[in-house]
Each structure stands twice: as structure tokens, then as C-alpha cells.
Amino acid sequence: MRAAAATVAAGGLLAASGPTASAGERRRGTTTFVVVTGASGTPGGIDALSLRGHRTVGVNLPGHGGTDAQFAHDYQCPQDPASLATRPSPMAGVGLDAYEAAAVDVVRTVAEYGPVILYGGSMGGATLNRVGNAVPHLIDRIVYDTAFCCVDLASPEDYFATPEGSTTLAGNLVGLVVADPAVIGAVRANYRSADRPSLDALREALMAGASDAEFYGMLAHLQPDESLTVGRENSRVNKSTWGRIPRTYIRHTADRMIPIALQDRMIAEADRLTPRNRFDVHTVDVPHAATSAQFGQIVDILDRLPECRRR
């Protein structure tokens, strides 16, 4: 069950051969942020960046869209616990290859119109790693917002098992898991539960200090089912492909899901891998999931990235 909780908390195309031109030589125009959601997230862009003149587009990861049958009648109120525990998930069999393909498709499309910044948080880092390996020539910058950057180890699950990951509160999700993953083919969490202790435990892990309105508003946007395998599949970055993309890491010092020590370990590993292309590191004192007010700090960082000033 711990592995299932960590998975929620947290193959590939060939890269183009030959030298990579500088970002300025490749594309000019309005920057597009391609946004990859973390576990159970809903696809979408970042409105606050759009208001500052940037294009943003969310990657519709397989199984995460509104037409993918995640929100069934048994998830409404009053809920049907027996059905929730046994109904096969639309996420069954969906893994990192499918996530990568979906994100690469969006990157290929938007790269025709200007610079591309690939942005993701949490478990979305596994997809960022794969896409950076696959199409580095189409990405002007890759941004990890307290996300998994797998360098020395292969997967997010491997990093949770390290000393730096040992203090994670990913296991706090267990109280909301309502089905045996082996039965439905996915991890299913009941984010509409009325069980206050389980919800408070999840708030401590994801959004400590948030008000009921902020926390429950965030939960309302989460998908109940998540892939059973994405968190344990190989998403290790490649030095020769991913390693040549300019990169930024946004550290969350109050993160209880991906502890700050684990974030710093991944940053250090990446910098050792490519010492001439190190992370541009920024720090915000916020939990894993930022409140609306806190997210403004992250938007300020994104708005100041070099690619955002290129026209």
C-alpha cells in the first residue's frame, strides 16, 4: 500500500541527431509554456502567465481528461463504495510511454510558433525527464517545480526509498484509497470523502496551513484514479539529450511530499551529470501544493525566465 500511495504522490522517441542550434537561432515569437500535471491532476494552462502575455497549454495526459470516464456515478454523492472498490479504471494499463507520447505531441506542435518552456510539478517530473530525452532540440527550457528529476536512480519510487525521501508523508494518502490497485488496475483515491482525519492527513502532506476553502478547492480538481506504474517506471535522464537543455528547479522548502532534502539531492545529481549546464535554482517557502497567494511567487519566477524576454 505504501508503494501505491507513493505512486499517487509521485520507451521513448529518438532524439534528433546532430548539433543543437541556440534557442535564439531556432525560434522567435511568444513563449509557450507546456504544462505537465502531477499525479491525479487535471490538464490545463496557467492563467496567471497568460495574463502576462505568455501562451500556456496543458498536456492532456491519457486518462486525465474529462471524457475519460474517471468521474463515474459511483463517485457522486451518495457514493457507492462497492462500485468504487471494483469498477475497472480507465487508467489500467496506462503508463509513462503514453504520458511521454502525449507531451511530445504538444511540444512538437507549439515549437512551430516560438520558444517552448516545458513545465511540470511533482510526479510530472517523470514525464519531463522522458520528453527531455526524446526531443531536446524542441525545448528551450525545462522547469521542475518541486518535481522528480531522476538522475542517479531510475524512478520516483526509487527516490522515495532513499534516506532523503524517508520523511515523505506520501503514505498519508492511504486513508483515502478505496480500491485494491490489483483489482482495478490503478490507484483510486476518494477525494470527495467526508472522513476528516484522512483529509487532514492529506492536507498535512500536500498543503499544510491551507484553509478549508483552499484545500477542498484543490481536491475538487483532482482525478480519483492514477496510473499504477508511472511512479516506478524508468525515467532517468540522459546526459547527451536532456542534459543539454537549459533547466530551472523551483525548490519548495515546506514540501512534506517531496522533502527539501530530496529535492536538493536531485538538483545536486543533475549538476554533477552536466557541470557546464547546471540548474538555475529558485526557492519558495511553500508546501507541495501552493495556495493561490503562494502560487504568485512561482509565476513571478516563470515570468522572469530568459525565454520569456525573447521576442
Which pLDDT score, from 0 to 100, does residue 14 have? Answer: 27
Q: Is the pLDDT assigned to residue 41 strictly greater than 70?
A: yes
Phi first, then psi: what are they for 104, rounded to 5°? -60, -40
What average pLDDT does the chain have? Answer: 89
- Identify whether 19 is part of a domain: no
Q: Is the pLDDT assigned to residue 15 strictly greater than 60?
A: no
Residue 299 burial (CB count, 10 A):
17
Angle at 189 between CA 186 and CA 191, to 5 degrees: 150
Strands (E), the chain: 32-36, 55-58, 116-122, 141-147, 187-188, 225-226, 247-252, 280-284
Which pLDDT score, from 0 to 100, does residue 139 have? Answer: 97
Pairwise CA distance, residues 76 & 224, whole Å: 12
Which pLDDT score, from 0 to 100, does residue 65 have? Answer: 66
- Identify whether 18 is part of a domain: no
- Identify whether 190 is part of a domain: yes
Q: What is the 8-class DSSP label of residue 107?
A: H
- For the ranges 52-61, 147-156, 241-250, the lowest mean pLDDT is seen at 52-61
- Identify whether 311 is part of a domain: no
Q: Which of residues 122 and 12 earns the better pLDDT score?
A: 122
- Identify whether 110 is part of a domain: yes
Count of CA atoms in the C-beta half-sphere (13 A) of 143: 26
- Identify whether 239 is part of a domain: yes
Q: Which of residues 163 and 307 earns the better pLDDT score?
A: 163
Q: Is the pLDDT assigned to residue 240 strictly greater than 60?
A: yes
- For the ranges 49-63, 235-249, 254-268, 274-288, the lowest mean pLDDT is seen at 49-63
CA dihedral 133, 118, 68, 71 (to 10 degrees): 130
Which pLDDT score, from 0 to 100, does residue 1 have? Answer: 41
Residue 76 burial (CB count, 10 A):
10
Which pLDDT score, from 0 to 100, does residue 20 have? Answer: 40
As for how many domains the chain has, the answer is 1
pLDDT tier for residue 35 given thresholds of 50, 70 and 90:
very high
Cα distances from 290 to residues 145, 150, 169, 190, in angstroms, run 11, 23, 16, 21
Q: Which of residues 237 and 25 earns the better pLDDT score?
A: 237
- Structural domain boundaries, residue 75: 2-12+24-306
Which pLDDT score, from 0 to 100, does residue 76 have? Answer: 82
Number of H helices, E strands in the chain: 12, 8
The mean pLDDT of 59-82, rounded to a whole number, is 78
- CATH number of the domain enclosing 52: 3.40.50.1820
Which pLDDT score, from 0 to 100, does residue 11 have? Answer: 30
- Identify whether 17 is part of a domain: no
Q: Is the pLDDT assigned to residue 245 strictly greater than 50?
A: yes
Q: What is the 8-class DSSP label of residue 293?
A: H
Which pLDDT score, from 0 to 100, does residue 77 have? Answer: 81
